[in-house]
Amino acid sequence: NAGVTQTPKFQVLKTGQSMTLQCAQDMNHEYMSWYRQDPGMGLRLIHYSVGAGITDQGEVPNGYNVSRSTTEDFPLRLLSAAPSQTSVYFCASSYFFGEGTFRNTQYFGPGTRLTVL
Amino acid sequence: ELKVEQNPLFLSMQEGKNYTIYCNYSTTSDRLYWYRQDPGKSLESLFVLLSNGAVKQEGRLMASLDTKARLSTLHITAAVHDLSATYFCAVYGGATNKLIFGTGTLLAVQP
């Protein structure tokens, strides 16, 4: 298993540009989510999905769109990048249903470091 | 709205000492996670606590959950330098399906 993969690892954008951060998992997990990490702020939930075709907003959704057309993929779109979106972005996945530690462990991708100038 | 608070935010301790990190949360939950993050790296799952009174131990780290007090603790025994990292707790708001993180505790173990 490759686990949770994210691309790209690094990206520099200019204000107003758009881009998509890719996230994929090969563990057949129902639950996927996107977080951003900023110094002193911990991780803040942007959007999440409990299955294909179902998405919902997290704590800081403004400026970001998501879709979930397959179980494996959960891309995050920045429609018009702003300097405030400079951050490290993490994608995570887990099972959504079931009991026990194995079914409830969240797996994180390696992260994407985004800079918006 | 689910809020998760950790304290302390920064902890400098000497090797061999014991200490506890606290994680408080604001609404009912029966699922709590602890993660470790090394500088520039992703998050590594340490513990998943799924019920009131749950206790998990791995090496020098022990985590516990008190759902009635809405409190989890991460206890460090006889710290070693290799434990230096940032530790996060995260709480699952079942009704909302959201996993909310605390701000993290930066642990620095000095020789």
Got the DSSP string for B9-41?
SEEEEETT--EEEEEEESS--S-EEEEEE-TTS
User: Which residues of chain A fall below pLDDT 70?
Assistant: 101-102
What's residue B68's pLDDT? 92
B2: nearest CA partner in chain A: A59
Report d(CA A56, CA A79) in Å as an integer.
Answer: 17
Q: Checking phi first, is residue B46 left (phi over 0); if not, alpha (psi -120 to 50) or beta?
A: alpha
What's residue A87's pLDDT? 97
Report d(CA A44, CA B104) in Å as an integer.
Answer: 12
Share the mean pLDDT of chain B.
93
B111 CB-near residues (< 8 Å, 6+ apart): B14, B15, B81
Mutate to test the interface with B, among A29, A47, A90, A106 (most CBs of B within 10 A): A106
How many of the other CB atoms lie within 10 Å of CB of B40? Answer: 8
From first to last of the 111 residues of chain B, give the pLDDT tens digit. 889 999 999 999 999 999 999 999 998 887 899 999 999 999 999 999 988 889 999 999 999 999 999 999 999 999 999 999 999 999 988 777 889 999 999 999 998
CB nearest B103 (choices: A40, A50, A111): A40
CB nearest B97 (choices: A44, A50, A59): A50
B43 vs A contacts (CB less than 8 Å) = 43, 90, 92, 108
B50 to A99: CB separation less than 8 angstroms, yes or no: yes
B50 to A101: CB separation less than 8 angstroms, yes or no: yes
Hey, is A13 helix, strand or coil? strand
Q: Checking phi first, is residue B52 left (phi over 0); if not, alpha (psi -120 to 50) or beta?
A: beta
What's residue B55's pLDDT? 94
Report d(CA A86, CA A63) in Å as an integer.
Answer: 12
Report d(CA A74, CA A24) in Å as an integer.
Answer: 6
What's residue A101's pLDDT? 67
Q: Is A96 in contact with A33 (CB distance < 8 Å)?
A: no
Tell which residue, A84, A82, A89, has the closest CA to residue A66.
A89
